[in-house]
A = this chain, B = another copy of it.
Amino acid sequence: MKYELYYWPTIQGRGEFVRLALEEGGLAYRDVARESGKGNGVAALLRLLRDRSVKRPPFAPPFLKAGELLIGQTANILYFLGPRIKLAPQTTAARLWTHQLQLTVADFVAEIHDTHHPVDVDSYYEEQKKEARRYSAHFLKSRAPKFLNYFEKILARGGRADYLVGAQLTYVDLSLFQLVAGLKYAFPRAMAQAARKYRRVFALHARVQERPRLAAYLASPRRIPFSDEGIFRHYSELDLPRSRLKKA
């Protein structure tokens, strides 16, 4: 069975958390909305969203087709995929814990998205710049540190374990890698500071991106570049003001 991912073809977005797992899992998969040809592309994605004969329709992309199953919600997809691609722990309790961490990643992602779309998700950033500045200032001061500190604490509590759930890489490590990669792109000044404080989180990011399969993926055209259309966007005016950058 070949897994079929459905996600918007021009952004990393939430779909990227699934792509990273499929790539590190070493599976052949289809990224259907990025394929050309009859029956593929965004039309295929929209068809599954709208088709009245779909018994369990997802609310929004990403979703994954695995044989007869159609699975939506990023964290749910990863919970399903994890054991099948050897990126989940063995016990039920540890799998619940991995999922719990993934849901906390999802909460963080939602707040990151809102830095540029705090009041109207369907309008342009340019139409909510003032609100975005206020939101982002609070995000960088209070919210991002709360999440980063949490993951730092988990890594510290694991003792000498290299990864969030223990000695073995799981899908939530890939998601934490993506969070750090995206935050570095979006808020380079704030993250230059954060790197000195959340050393374990940033070390995990570095460790993950050197894994052979991940490194090959990141260097390939399959990795869509960050841009000002995704979740992580770089608007210099939302980053930490230069005047507040402290010397190391």
Of all chain B residues, the one with the shortest Cβ separation from A132 is: B119
Would A142 and B119 be within 8 Å (CB), given that A73-B100, A104-B59, A154-B57 are in contact? no
Cα separation A143 to B107 with both chains bound (whole Å): 18
Q: Please report the C-alpha to C-alpha distance between residue A120 and residue B143 in the assembled complex, in whole angstroms.
A: 10
Instruction: Determine the residue in chain B with the shortest Cβ distance to A137.
Output: B120
- The residue of chain B having its C-beta at the shortest distance from the C-beta of A63 within the complex is B100
Q: Which of B76, B80, B134 contacts A120 (CB 8 A)?
A: B134
Query: A57-B154, A72-B100 provided; 8 other pairs, C-beta below 8 A?
Result: A59-B147, A71-B96, A118-B118, A119-B135, A119-B138, A120-B134, A122-B138, A131-B134
A48 at the A/B interface (Cβ < 8 Å)? no
Chosen A-B contacts, 9 in total, with CB atoms closer than 8 Å, are A69-B96, A71-B100, A79-B99, A103-B103, A119-B131, A119-B135, A120-B134, A120-B135, A120-B138
Q: Do A100 and B76 contact each other (CB < 8 Å), given the known contacts A153-B57, A157-B52?
A: yes
Contact of A150 among B59, B99, B114, B147 (CB under 8 A): B59
Q: How many copies does the complex hold?
A: 2
Q: B56 near A69 (CB under 8 angstroms)?
A: no
A231 CB to closest chain B CB, in angstroms? 14
Assess A80 versus B59: contact at CB under 8 Å? Given A119-B118, A135-B119.
Answer: no
A100 partner residues in chain B, CB cutoff 8 A: 56, 58, 71-73, 76
Most buried by B among A57, A93, A150, A153: A93
